[in-house]
Structure 1
């Protein structure tokens, strides 16, 4: 078994042992980065709070004309967010496109894994292909009146 010794890594630049570091576990007022070993053997930066996974977060979902504040678990997927949005927006989940940080997100992506936190913004667009099909379906339907000459 390998024993890991903890080393102090600080965000930002500082002079080792000089004025930038102090004995309180911070580096020039910046917090120390803590590490944890995951069950698969991967060394990763420790989460800020252990109870952050599974907690309710509020996501502001904006459309072109309005916004909705949705409370959802941080461990939910974008597909689950679409299902909740279908109740307030009137769009079916397959008609929705969700963008976060400028990228369209897939239904199976988890909110907390892509970095969605409390009070973050997600943009909702109607899928243009489905929107066009709706318009053609309405325009290509039976005529409302007939003209005979």
Structure 2
């Protein structure tokens, strides 16, 4: 790890301090930043080290899943996929995972997308819809099942 001192790259503050003899208290406090921690990435690029929360993306989150007529609060791991969310929703609703379409932030999400990678956080809302193509097939099968069939024997 390489430690380099921090520098202030804001011209406007130096112009203000040049014209005003007494700097405002907020500017005095902003001068002491501490040291910036640097790291070398595998490609050889020197970048500022990010402060990563060790528990970020981990743990159980609660998602409010809204259907057309009702909503469900589902507790799931943040690192789960939308496919795993569909499996949990199939236990709560009468829809199989194949019949479900999940929308988050206005976009339909793929089964392989991870919740935390898309930006789903605790107490976020997700919309669950029934796939219209499968819904139409169900209606056709119900109609075909209710009509009497004629069997022709040769």
Give TM-score scaled by structure 1 length.
0.71
Larger-gyration structure (1/2)? 2
Which of 53, 64, 68 aligns to 1:64? It is: 68
CA distance in 2, matches of 1:109, 1:71: 17
Number of residue-to-residue matches in the alignment = 134
How far 1:39 moved relative to its partner? 6.5
How far 1:46 moved relative to its partner? 3.7
Distance 1:4 1:91, change over 3 A: farther
- Higher-helix-fraction structure: 2
Q: 2:145 aligned with 1:141, yes or no?
A: yes
Q: 2:80 matched to which residue of 1?
A: 76
Distance 1:61 1:137, change over 3 A: same
Q: 2:136 aligned with 1:117, yes or no?
A: no
**Please, which runs of 5 or more residues in structure 2 have no aligned partner?**
17-23, 150-154
Q: 2:51 aligned with 1:54, yes or no?
A: no
Give TM-score scaled by structure 2 length.
0.69
CA distance in 1, matches of 2:2, 2:90: 50
**Please, which runs of 5 or more residues in structure 1 have no aligned partner?**
26-33
Pairwise CA RMSD of aligned residues?
3.6
Q: 1:30 matched to which residue of 2?
A: none
How far 1:53 moved relative to its partner? 2.2
Task: Provide Cα deviations, 1:72-97, integer angstroms capped at 9, x if missing partner.
Answer: 00000000000000000111000000
